[in-house]
Amino acid sequence: MYLADISRTCFTLKVSTPLSAPLEVGFDYTRSLGPVLGRFITGLREHRIEGVRGSDGRVHVPPVEYDPVTAEPLTDFVPVAAEGTVLSWSWISVPLEGQPLAHPFAWALIRLDGADTAMLHAVDAGSPEQIHTGMRVKVRWTDEPAGHIRDIAYFVPADAEVPESRPVTEGGPVSIMVTPVHLHYQHSASPEESRYLRGLAEGKLIGQRCPACNKVYIPPRGACPTDGVPTVEEVELPDTGIVTTFCIVNVPFLGQRIQPPYVAAYVLLDGADIAFLHLVLGCEASEVRMGMRVRAAWKPREQWWTSLENIDHFEPTGEPDAPFESYAHHL
């Protein structure tokens, strides 16, 4: 089958505004603490701060698990004070979401009394004129200790009045710490990506061909990564292709919308020279194989927008498998 039989070619000089949209990335970062950090975090829940002494006699706060000098495990815990000295600081006039304070504050390196190293934390100083190197500060404990680094809510000037907060002394040692992570981007697609995404909104799969090697890339890159020349010839590809490689997903995770097991596969569209990742459904996961012929299962037309999500998944066509030699160089 010749490429001309399975694709349509067009040239375009039309310039349109690139697409741009917010991109939200969020997940819970889960850390296993181990015996050293676990004891430190358990202490914070109980309004205690402990460091660990190294072979050179220095007390590290927060504690380190291994000696910076000898690399040996450290187990000599040392209680330190909840007051200390600001060694250096940086003023944050516009706090970001998730930071310790919603109003302007300082990030500071604070060496607690009894420690030899500094810890980074927030200082609620009021204004940049009211914080300085050498300033004495103390811990402001959170109102609801939970066994987390945030049980230290922030630091305040040593002479400031702080409300009473009760420690939590019940419960076993803290072994896991969960920290939500949220990243906010404004993603702007390239002009080539924008035409590809606008094509998806019309139910089209648009790639670009390199004028030097004739390879067809989807999504389009704007330039051939092999030859380094611009790709301006647009190629509309069919929604059929071949499974090149695949993975059977058996492990559940947060936000998963499909019950395992299911298959994530690289699909090489007919006429394309690079595969892209998508779901393969419509058959048992154990039946998916390299060379399987598949077709896109599109969502209802009213759900289409500028996204590859318009294709819900790929499913088997029932045609004979493609011979390995036909896609071996695309693996």
Q: Which residue stretches of the chain are H helix?
A: 3-6, 34-45, 191-200
Residues of the chain with pLDDT > 90, as a percent, come to: 82
pLDDT of residue 14: 54
Q: What is the mean pLDDT of residues 105-133?
A: 97
Supply 39's token pair. 């004891």
CA pair distance 144, 66, nearest whole angstrom: 31
pLDDT of residue 15: 54
- pLDDT tens-digit series, residues 58-97: 999 999 999 999 999 999 999 999 999 999 999 999 999 8
pLDDT of residue 16: 73
CA 34 vs CA 2, 4, 121, 176, 239: distances in Å: 60, 61, 22, 8, 50
- pLDDT tens-digit series, residues 280-307: 999 999 999 999 999 999 999 999 999 9
Q: Please check the confidence at residue 9 and state whether its pLDDT lies above 70.
A: no
CA pair distance 52, 66, nearest whole angstrom: 10
